[in-house]
Amino acid sequence: MSLKELLKDRLDEEELKLLRRSFEIIGDIVIIEIPDEILHHARDIVDAILSRHKHVRTVLRKIGEVNGVYRVARYEPVYGEKTETVVKEHGCRFLVDPTKAYYSVKLSGERERIARLVGEGERILVMFAGVGPYPIVIAKLARPEKVIGIELNPHAAEYFRKNVRLNKVEDVVEVFEGDVEEVVPKLPGEFDRVVMPAPYSAESFIHLLKGKVRRGGFVHYYTFDSQNEEERLHEKVMKRFEDEGLSVEVLKVRRCGNFAPYVNRYVVDLRVL
């Protein structure tokens, strides 16, 4: 039963129209948008959520969009106080706090997809690693030799280190706290695969790949683009890489989320020639 149906006796028709259709569940935390006009119904909304999701301990109201370099939105609790929780994903466990570091359940399918592509003994670089879901899912589901993850937000990096220990992948996953612009150039050797879930302007980080991916190696390049440009994306991405002196072939373009009305997140799988 939808939230609207659960609340149809508590909110009037106009108020029901303002109610968002969906909410996000992260471990035992629910994140929901509640417009100011129906904020006086917060308790009814919480009760409706709790009636369906008995494990929920905290309900956070999202105020404004995910923004800033760290990609963290602002939240205010409307039920409970605890903002740290444990999320299960593909047999891994992640300690997260959405008020301090980015984590989205929506990319979990993507993480599994990438992990299934990894060959035995690969050396992998994950830029913008957040609390570590890409490196850790890859380490657990595949058999890489090494996965290096880089993250700038100190809170996210701290959770990343904790999650590496929690999932017992210390031998495989190495955490670097810092800016990819500074860390990547100092990393020795070439990688078999680079994952780039960039938070914004992915094209501005392509130059970092020079000399870092072996010939025949793979890049998973995440970018945002307008829906109308979808057909040209393949060509546009090839051109961006060429402009940076990197010759690549596009293996796949896949839509993997919605960012704003008519703006989607895409992943482009590339092979370096």
Ligand X SMILES: C[S@@+](CC[C@H](N)C(=O)[O-])C[C@H]1O[C@@H](n2cnc3c(N)ncnc32)[C@H](O)[C@@H]1O
DSSP secondary structure letter of residue 145: S
Which residues, other chains included, contact 135 with Cβ-Cβ below 8 Å and sequence gap of 6+?
Answer: 124, 126, 129, 147, 148, 149, 160, 164, 169, 173
119 beta partners: none
**Residues found in the chain:** 273
- Select from 27, 98, 144, 199 the one that contacts ligand X (CB under 6 A): 199
Rounded Cα distance between 26 and 97, Å, is 9
Our finding on whether 98 is near ligand X (CB under 6 A) is no
Our finding on whether 224 is near ligand X (CB under 6 A) is no
- Select from 27, 133, 144, 217 the one that contacts ligand X (CB under 6 A): 133
What are the angstrom distances between the C-alpha of 3 and each of 58, 65, 111?
17, 22, 29
Q: Which stretch binds ligand X (CB under 6 A): 10-18, 26-34, 148-156, 210-218?
A: 148-156
Site string for ligand X, 50-89 (x = CB under 6 A): -------------------xxx------------------
Specify whether the CB–CB gap between 172 and 117 falls below 8 A: no
Q: Which is nearer to ligand X, 69 or 86 (CB)?
A: 69
Min separation Cβ 241 and ligand X, Å: 19
Our finding on whether 221 is near ligand X (CB under 6 A) is no
- Select from 151, 158, 192, 225 the one that contacts ligand X (CB under 6 A): 151
- Select from 60, 115, 138, 150 the one that contacts ligand X (CB under 6 A): 150
Residues that bind ligand X (CB under 6 A): 69-71, 102-104, 107, 128-130, 133-134, 150-153, 156, 179-181, 197, 199
